Amino acid sequence: MRTAVRLTLPCILLPILCAAAGARPQQSRRTARDARCKAAAGKYISAVSDKAHRTVEQQYRVEYDEARKYLTVCGESGDDFTLNLKKYAVRREA
């Protein structure tokens, strides 16, 4: 009986520990990507909101260029900000 318990316990704990160890790096990658996306969104907003001494065409070009830069970093995100920038970029390219 003791031998069966001694063999069963590691067989159950080992997959649980492996799953827990494998889950941590994915979350750290997600938080790193979120930090990069937040920084890229800040750069987009600051570049777009600075409209001094720009014509309308120049402003449209800056908005498009900054949207493309943001999408290269965070294009796979599914939040509203990213989806709106994707729609804008597609509309501008058409």
**Domain ranges within the chain, ordered by starting residue:** 2-93
Distance CA 84, CA 45 (A): 13
Which is more confidently placed, 31 or 20? Answer: 31
**CA–CA distances in Å: residue 9 to residues 15, 20, 35:** 11, 17, 40
- Across all residues in the chain, what is the average pLDDT? 81
Q: pLDDT (tens digit, 9 = 90+) per residue, 39-71? A: 999 999 988 888 888 899 999 999 999 999 999
Which is more confidently placed, 20 or 38? Answer: 38
Predicted confidence at residue 14, as pLDDT, reads 62
Which residues in 21-30 are b (16+ Cβ under 10 Å) and which e?
A: eeeeeeeeee
pTM (2 d.p.): 0.65
Residue 73 has pLDDT above 70, yes or no: yes
Predicted confidence at residue 87, as pLDDT, reads 93
